A and B are shown apart, each in its own frame.
Chain A
Amino acid sequence: MIKLTGIRKAFGKNEVLKGIDLTVDKGEVVAILGPSGSGKTTLLRCINYLERPSDGEISIDEFAVNCRKPAKKDIHALRRKTAMVFQQYNLFRHKTALENVMEGLVIVKKLVKEEARRRSVELLEKVGLSDKLDAYPSQLSGGQQQRVGIARALALNPEVILFDEPTSALDPELVGEVLSVIRKIAKEGITMIIVTHEMGFAQEVANHIVFMEGGSIVEEGPPKNIFQSPREERTRQFLARFTSESSYSI
């Protein structure tokens, strides 16, 4: 279980997160929705300390980090319990697809090379890239790069995978292949937190929707409640375009 308590983050005087409380159960797939600038990505990046929250507490199961005075080793431990899939993929550019997945296993998890290789090959097969093991990121399409990114995250066997707008940099044709991989791993019961603008995908895959605006959580709950009968006016407004679009297609 992941528990965020009173997470605050300010860049100078600009308060981006105004005390976020969020509980994510094991195996839950959480989609964080909201307009640009609402703090979704910052919140996600706080969970593995790519951003330093100015206040609050992050806990994963029994392990807790007090964001007022985090120890270096706590930050490191937090990062080993989480994995992230980036909007811009951020694959290690000088390493092949296989090496990208192996890197964390060998350097962080200290697996012997053969074992790391075996697991990495398996994962790349799972994301449908068994023919691209030796390709460098510059030789892969965006969708392929992102699938390597997902394999890299899965390899670490984390408590939670954080997805930061995993399809926003992809052209519409490639979005599908990435979403179907995410859908597949969601079914395996891995805890995931996804920041996304793909409403249809969020509705379908997530079992917990969080709607954020202006650095606060406006509303959260199961997709059915949020999409069909949102309590807050702002949520309704935000989802109006999406829901009306889908009603056209019916």
Chain B
Amino acid sequence: MSLDFSFIWTAFVSLLTAVPTTLKITAVSVLCGFAIGTAIALCRMYRVPVLHRIAAAYVTVIRGTPMLTHLLILYFAIPLIVDGLAERFDWAIRSAQIPMIGFAYLSFSITAGAYLSEVVRSGLLAVSKGQMEAAHAVGMTTPQALRRIVFPQAFAAALPNLTNSVIGMLHGSTLAFTVSVVDINAQAEIVATTNWKFFEAYLAAALLFWGMTVLIERLSALLERRVTRYSRGGVA
């Protein structure tokens, strides 16, 4: 068996059709995960009564179990819950109407939320306490101080870890194939079934993922230069 280079190219072109799906899953899970993660990090840092315990439990359970497991559990749990509720309250919806990609969105957002909460928390911890004190002393409320003073600096500090998580979620999105979502990896499989050239098809997928990852790294580097502009004075 020899490597069919031209089929790598054929497969690569065909994989491009699945790029939007992969990007959508990654973007939704990172954005929702970032929102969840920020809420969790704040609950834990400010020890919000009751909520901070729930937040801590969420992080340990979700980080303690694989991403694929989350997806599969939700895949089986949601129909039970939705159909059960729909029957009881006489709703018109049925779980079969939920698009498959919805399971991936929900499940991966939950996964990303747990990981990103730690990214956000480390970012917030990197901002010195004096910044919040100075904002308070100027007369700002805590939400104002967080928004205007702490978050921008925390974001700058968290960016390298955040990039890591985005890349992790991009690659993790391939798991969506288990619930019949056609992402890049699933598309590679589909392309290969016509002539059994799986090796070439997966190589094409690898190239595509690598390219996308390099792009994310570049964008992140640019963004990092922008948001850390203030700390390039030499001192402190």
Q: Spell out A's residues near B (CB within 8 Å).
A: 48-50, 76, 79-80, 82-84, 86, 88, 90-95, 103-104, 107-109, 135-140, 152, 156
Contact = CB atoms under 8 A, between A and B. Distances in A.
Interface string B75-89: 000000000000000
A76 B139 CA distance: 7
Interface of B: 128, 130-131, 133-141, 144, 148-149, 152-153, 156, 229-236
| Chain A contact residues: helix, strand, loop or mixed | loop
B149 A92 contact: yes
B130 A108 contact: no
B137 A93 contact: no
Contacts of A135: 233
A94 B133 contact: no
A104 B139 contact: yes
| Chain B contact residues: helix, strand, loop or mixed | helix
Nearest to B138: A104
A139 B138 contact: no
A91 B148 CA distance: 13
B137 A92 contact: no
B156 A94 contact: yes
4 tightest Cβ-Cβ pairs between the two chains A and B: A138-B233, A139-B233, A90-B130, A90-B134
B231 to A, nearest CB: 5
A95 B137 contact: no
Nearest to A149: B134
Contacts of B140: 104, 107-108
B130 A94 contact: no
Contact of B131 (A84, A93, A140): A93
B130 A86 contact: yes
Contact of B235 (A88, A103, A108, A138): A138
Contact of B144 (A83, A107, A136): A107
A93 B141 CA distance: 19
28 contacts: A48-B137, A50-B133, A76-B141, A79-B137, A80-B139, A84-B133, A86-B134, A86-B137, A88-B130, A90-B133, A91-B134, A92-B131, A92-B149, A93-B236, A94-B149, A104-B139, A104-B140, A107-B144, A107-B148, A108-B144, A109-B139, A136-B230, A137-B236, A138-B230, A138-B231, A138-B235, A140-B233, A156-B138
A137 B233 CA distance: 8
A173 B133 CA distance: 28
Contacts of B234: 138-139
A93 B138 contact: no
Contacts of B144: 107-108
B236 A138 contact: yes
B134 A92 contact: yes
A152 B135 CA distance: 11
Contacts of A86: 130, 133-134, 137
Given A136-B229, A137-B233, A138-B234, 12 more contacts: A82-B137, A84-B133, A86-B133, A86-B134, A90-B133, A93-B153, A94-B152, A107-B144, A107-B148, A137-B236, A138-B231, A156-B139
